[in-house]
Amino acid sequence: MSRKKIAAGNWKMNTQINEGIALAKYIADAERDKGVITILAVPFTHIYAIQKKIKSSSKVLLAAQNCHHKTSGAFTGEISPVMLAGMKVPYVILGHSERREYNYEDNALLALKLRAALNSGLKVIFCCGESLNIRKAGNHLHHVQLQLQESLFQIEVREMKHITIAYEPIWAIGTGETASPAQAQEMHEAIRAMLKQKYGKGVAEKTSILYGGSVKGNNAKSIFSQQDVDGGLVGGASLSGEEFVSIINSF
């Protein structure tokens, strides 16, 4: 069964507005594999301007990097999923390892965020993954399974068509370390087995699972060639238009 191939760039807290517009336009106008869904998770401050500058025909989609679990209220500095939907932002990233670590987002909170995002009509890139200590202890499979069980697996089977999973080996984010293609495949295969057990074979085979740990132009092809790796959630390398396009063309 053919799954969607996805290259998602997570800019995090980087680029000034003019830099972001120029980067998005470079990617939108570049010669790239149109069979790959290209997503840019840009800072909130950039969304409106980039929407106005890139052509809808370019098939570059935008994502927010986070949203709140409430649709409105006295939550200073937060972004509602309804606000994002109103701006026609199709995707939101939830559960990124940096949000989990620095903003203390636990599985229970992420379950609420997932519900709010889906109810607002957003598609979700849901992140999961383990730290180096958990990996060394051999508990990585159980840890990721618990993240899925306590957050993602609260949703209905019919809603899984709006979900993309991103596996983040936290020990490989921003460190220059990368899980070997075999390590990536092992976890992606395990996640797909978890999906099959919970939602059935059809959902498991249709759900795209992205690798999110220091994907670069020089390693993307070997990672993406793995049977259960359907693309990447790319951090630092997505800030270079040339390198991100090379990643898009690595399938």
pLDDT in tens, 28-65: 999 999 999 999 999 999 999 999 999 888 899 999 99
User: Domain total for the chain?
Assistant: 1
Write down the H helix ranges in the chain. 17-29, 47-53, 81-86, 97-102, 107-119, 132-136, 140-150, 181-199, 201-206, 220-224, 241-248
Domain carrying residue 51: 5-248
Give the catalytic positions in this structure. Answer: 96, 168
Predicted confidence (pLDDT) at residue 1 exceeds the cutoff of 60: no
Amino acid at 244: F
Q: What is the CATH number of the domain that holds 152?
A: 3.20.20.70
- Longest Cα–Cα distance in the chain: 48
Determine what percent of the chain is predicted with pLDDT higher than 90.
90
DSSP 8-state code for residue 166: E
Does the global pTM surpass 0.85? yes
212-249 tens-digit pLDDT: 988 999 999 999 999 999 999 999 999 999 999 999 99
